[in-house]
């Protein structure tokens, strides 16, 4: 046993004595947004537990790359270098705090240095002061380029210095990396990680040098692959990590809606104070000008106790001409306004006089979010659009899923995909859901809700620790379906219907108060509709006899996307309530009871 512990300690770049960790996880190497969760532990080898609310942050303008810190060097993936606009990935000590004030903020325990007008961080690779703080008033200047640590704005009013490439400094390996303030949600950095003032101030007060604080910053796939070896907090699993693989068709490489070529997803997570837990999720059918190159689309409504702005024109004309935005119920108007303004501002749209913004919602104001505060702004919607990428998609308590609840547990954003075998056309179909609904939870056919004692219309004593049983049936779900199959609008509506039917496989009650909508679109380039085009065009579309495999794929992909939303969600506290994530230990026991033990191996292997 001792040898195993020594092996584990040697393998982990996190110091054994560390009792504070800032875990920053982005969806992919290319993503410019991350969710940072503070963790603590009372002693060495104790499990890490979350401390306070998560923090939404901005990364470098080109994403992440492996930096130089406590982790092994030369790991597979992009490597950081000077001027690349990437935030460093890896494990890093947190060194000190600098700020504009002469004295640190009250309760600050980290070493503090005032950022005088002469204080610089040198980024000149030829300087002997490279990647070091230097006082231009007292030190011999041998640099031609440096960061002024007392800017004219507030971005460096509080800075936490990250121990990147400083033990020792390698010329060109990247310099002047720290945590600092940002000027707004729709901003990126030159390589640092930036936050809003309130969470930054909380973080500075929390950090304790006696607890050997570290920053662990990783894309999600690397986090999931290295968590066990590096002694990091256990990642929340996806369905397949637990042996849950609904249906018969295989997933795409990412098992996400972005497996459909050219589809992009961006998200903005709003975590403000103790009461705001909401956000925005944007799905872009392609990376070009959507208004000028509209995609065929359709809408299917299961129960219309909800809002889907723009749906009537989609049903009338059969096209989608903006990103699809999901948010909370009372942010619909703001999101429409933001989408219109963003579309009008795109090059080539100078003469546009009408825009059909497509915006869906679910209501996150029943438990976790102060929805009446009307927090979502134009900038937040545009930030979600600007962050959209083609890679992996963040799931769980993020974006429009930040404050949602499903089956009495924490809901959120989930995604999945299917790639049909060649004999069925070889097409790809992907689904993204905003899960905020209820019923009797069923996971790949197993009665999980009943087994866990939390389900709609259960006897009162079965849900003593949960909301009223009848309330567990309420809520809504937005579904977005993408496919590269060349489908006519009528058949896209039929496809959307199957996706919505897929909610039944998860145990949805489709209650009186639910708003259940599915939006489907095809990315087939030959079917795009050019704005203003009046000429007749020939089209190649799949015949109806070829649709059954896609219908099956829509059913099982929607089911898996909902499971991923539930499994990846984290426990969230907001607006005076706490909604628990699905308890993994109890869930694993249920699966084992029904002959579904979790597969062995790392999440990355699946």
* Residues 235-274: tens digit of each pLDDT: 999 999 999 999 999 999 999 999 999 999 999 999 999 9
Assign domain 239-529+540-593 to a CATH class: alpha beta
Identify the band that residue 133 occupies on the pLDDT scale cut at 50, 70 and 90: very high
Give Cβ neighbours of residue 430 (< 8 Å, ≥ 6 apart). Answer: 252, 256, 257, 258, 259, 260, 263, 415, 416, 417, 418, 481, 482, 483, 557
Q: Which of 58, 377, 508, 514 is catalytic?
A: 514
Biggest CA pair distance of the chain: 80
Distance CA 329, CA 308 (A): 10
CB 341 within 8 A of CB 378: yes
Distance CA 358, CA 317 (A): 13
Structure-model confidence comparison of residues 242 and 45, the more confident one = 242
Alpha carbon 273 to chain centroid, angstroms:
20
Task: Give the Å distances, CA to CA, from 330 to 24, 184, 374.
Answer: 30, 22, 7
CB 514 within 8 A of CB 305: yes
Q: How high is the pLDDT of residue 7? A: 43
Task: Give the Å distances, CA to CA, from 134 to 172, 178, 244.
Answer: 18, 16, 55
Q: Does 113 have pLDDT greater than 50?
A: yes
Distance CA 426, CA 506 (A): 26
Whether the link from the prior residue into 168 is cis, omega within 30° of 0, is yes
Q: Both tokens of residue 194? A: 């930036």
Helix ranges (DSSP H) in 327-445: 332-344, 378-386
CB 418 within 8 A of CB 560: no
Structure-model confidence comparison of residues 600 and 350, the more confident one = 350
DSSP 115: -
* Phi, psi dihedrals of residue 184, rounded to the nearest 5°: 165, 170
Q: Mean pLDDT lowest for which of 280-289, 336-345, 450-459?
A: 450-459
Identify the band that residue 418 occupies on the pLDDT scale cut at 50, 70 and 90: very high
SS3 246: coil
- Nearest Cα to 379, choosing from 350, 337, 413? 337
Distance CA 372, CA 394 (A): 26
Q: Does 18 have pLDDT greater than 50?
A: yes
Identify the band that residue 597 occupies on the pLDDT scale cut at 50, 70 and 90: confident
Q: Both tokens of residue 16? A: 């054994």
Q: Which of 26, 311, 516, 522 is catalytic?
A: 516
Helix (H) or strand (E) holding 416: strand 412-419
Of all residues in the chain, the percent with pLDDT exceeding 90 is 91
Q: Does 508 have pLDDT greater than 50?
A: yes
**Helical axes 332-344 vs 378-386, angle rounded to 10°:** 60
Q: How high is the pLDDT of residue 467? A: 52
602 is catalytic: no
Q: How high is the pLDDT of residue 458? A: 87
Distance CA 560, CA 244 (A): 8
| Exposure of 291 in the CB half-sphere (CA atoms within 13 A) | 19
Q: Does 5 have pLDDT greater than 70?
A: no
CB 25 within 8 A of CB 35: yes
Helix (H) or strand (E) holding 548: helix 548-568
Within the chain, all domains assigned CATH 3.60.70.12 are found at 239-529+540-593
Q: How high is the pLDDT of residue 36? A: 97
Q: How high is the pLDDT of residue 501? A: 98
Q: Does 77 have pLDDT greater than 60?
A: yes
Q: Which of 476, 508, 511, 522 is catalytic?
A: 476
Task: Give the Å distances, CA to CA, from 605 to 25, 76, 90, 177.
Answer: 19, 16, 20, 32
- Nearest Cα to 402, choosing from 38, 410, 323? 410
Q: How high is the pLDDT of residue 471? A: 63
Distance CA 343, CA 336 (A): 11
- Nearest Cα to 564, choosing from 552, 556, 576, 553? 556
Identify the band that residue 600 occupies on the pLDDT scale cut at 50, 70 and 90: low
CB 35 within 8 A of CB 269: yes
311 is catalytic: no
The mean predicted confidence, pLDDT, of the chain is 94
Number of H helices, E strands in the chain: 10, 30
Q: Both tokens of residue 160? A: 């936490």
**E-strand spans in 286-362?**
293-304, 308-309, 319-320, 324-328, 358-362
CB 22 within 8 A of CB 94: yes
Instruction: State the pTM of this model.
Output: 0.93
The CA dihedral of 411, 239, 414, 217, to the nearest 10 degrees, is: 90
Task: Give the Å distances, CA to CA, from 212 to 15, 75, 536.
Answer: 8, 24, 69
220 is catalytic: no
- Nearest Cα to 516, choosing from 430, 437, 410? 437
What's the whole-number mean pLDDT along residues 533-544?
91
- Nearest Cα to 243, choosing from 597, 602, 601? 597
SS3 357: coil
Distance CA 568, CA 580 (A): 12
- Nearest Cα to 515, choosing from 318, 359, 360, 297? 360
Q: Does 438 have pLDDT greater than 90?
A: yes
Burial 111-123 (b: 16+ CB within 10 A, else e): ebbebeeebbbbb
Distance CA 177, CA 166 (A): 10
Q: Does 598 have pLDDT greater than 90?
A: no
Of all residues in the chain, the percent with pLDDT exceeding 70 is 95
How many other β-carbons are positioned within 10 Å of the β-carbon of residue 37?
Answer: 18
Tell the residue number behind the tokens 């909800």, with chain if given.
Answer: 306
457 dihedral zone (left: phi>0; alpha: psi -120 to 50; beta): left
């Amino acid at each position: 046993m001792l040898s195993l512990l020594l092996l584990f300690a040697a393998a982990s770049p996190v110091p054994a004595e560390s009792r504070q960790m800032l875990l920053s996880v982005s969806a992919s190497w290319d993503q410019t947004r991350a969710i940072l969760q503070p963790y603590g532990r009372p002693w060495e080898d104790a499990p890490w537990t979350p401390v306070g609310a998560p923090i939404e942050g901005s990364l470098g303008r080109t994403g992440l790359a492996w930096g130089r810190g406590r982790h092994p060097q030369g790991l597979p993936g992009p490597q950081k270098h000077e001027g690349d606009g990437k935030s460093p990935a890896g494990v890093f000590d947190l060194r000190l705090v600098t700020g504009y004030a002469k004295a640190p903020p009250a309760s600050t325990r980290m070493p503090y240095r005032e950022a005088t007008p002469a204080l610089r961080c040198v980024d000149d690779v030829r300087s002997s002061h490279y990647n070091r703080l230097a006082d231009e008033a007292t030190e011999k200047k041998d640099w031609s380029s440096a960061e002024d640590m007392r800017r004219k704005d507030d971005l460096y009013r509080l800075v936490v210095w990250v121990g990147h490439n400083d033990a020792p400094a390698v010329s060109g390996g990247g310099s002047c990396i720290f945590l600092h303030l940002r000027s707004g949600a729709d901003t990126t950095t030159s390589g640092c990680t930036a936050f809003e003032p309130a969470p930054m101030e909380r973080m500075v007060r929390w950090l304790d040098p006696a607890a050997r604080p570290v920053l662990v910053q990783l894309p999600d796939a690397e986090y999931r692959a290295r968590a066990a070896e590096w002694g990091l907090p256990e990642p929340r699993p996806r369905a397949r990590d637990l042996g849950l693989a609904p249906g018969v068709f295989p997933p795409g490489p990412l098992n996400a809606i972005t497996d459909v070529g050219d589809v992009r997803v961006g998200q903005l997570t709003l975590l403000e104070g103790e009461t705001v837990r909401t956000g925005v999720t944007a799905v872009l059918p392609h990376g070009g000008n959507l208004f000028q190159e509209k995609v065929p689309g359709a809408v299917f409504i299961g129960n219309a106790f909800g809002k889907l702005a723009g749906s009537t024109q989609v049903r009338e004309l059969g096209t989608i001409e903006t990103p699809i935005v999901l948010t909370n119920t009372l942010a619909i108007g703001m999101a429409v306004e933001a989408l219109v303004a963003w579309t009008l501002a795109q090059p080539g749209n100078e003469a546009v006089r009408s825009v059909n913004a497509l915006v869906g919602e679910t209501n996150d104001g029943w438990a976790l979010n102060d929805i009446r505060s009307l927090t979502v702004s134009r900038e937040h919607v545009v930030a979600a659009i600007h962050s959209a990428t083609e890679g992996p998609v963040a799931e769980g308590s993020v974006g429009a899923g930040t404050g949602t609840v499903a089956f009495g547990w924490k809901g959120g954003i989930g995604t999945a995909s299917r790639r049909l075998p060649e004999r069925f056309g070889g097409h790809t179909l992907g689904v993204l859901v905003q899960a905020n609904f209820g019923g009797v939870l069923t996971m790949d056919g197993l009665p999980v809700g009943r087994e866990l004692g939390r389900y709609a219309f259960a006897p009162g004593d079965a849900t003593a620790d949960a909301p009223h049983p009848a309330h567990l049936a309420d809520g809504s779900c937005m579904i977005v379906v993408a496919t590269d199959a060349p489908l006519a609008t009528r058949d896209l509506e039929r496809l959307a219907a199957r996706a919505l039917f897929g909610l039944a496989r998860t145990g949805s009650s489709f209650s009186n108060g639910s708003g259940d909508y599915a939006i489907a679109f095809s990315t087939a380039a030959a079917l795009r509709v050019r704005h203003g085009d009046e000429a007749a065009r020939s089209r190649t579309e799949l015949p109806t006899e070829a649709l059954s495999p896609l219908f099956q794929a829509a059913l099982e992909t929607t089911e898996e996307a909902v499971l991923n939303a539930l499994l990846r969600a984290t426990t969230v506290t907001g607006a005076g309530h706490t909604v628990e994530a699905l308890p993994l230990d109890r869930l694993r026991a249920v699966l084992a009871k029904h002959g579904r033990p979790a597969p062995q191996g790392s999440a990355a292997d699946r």
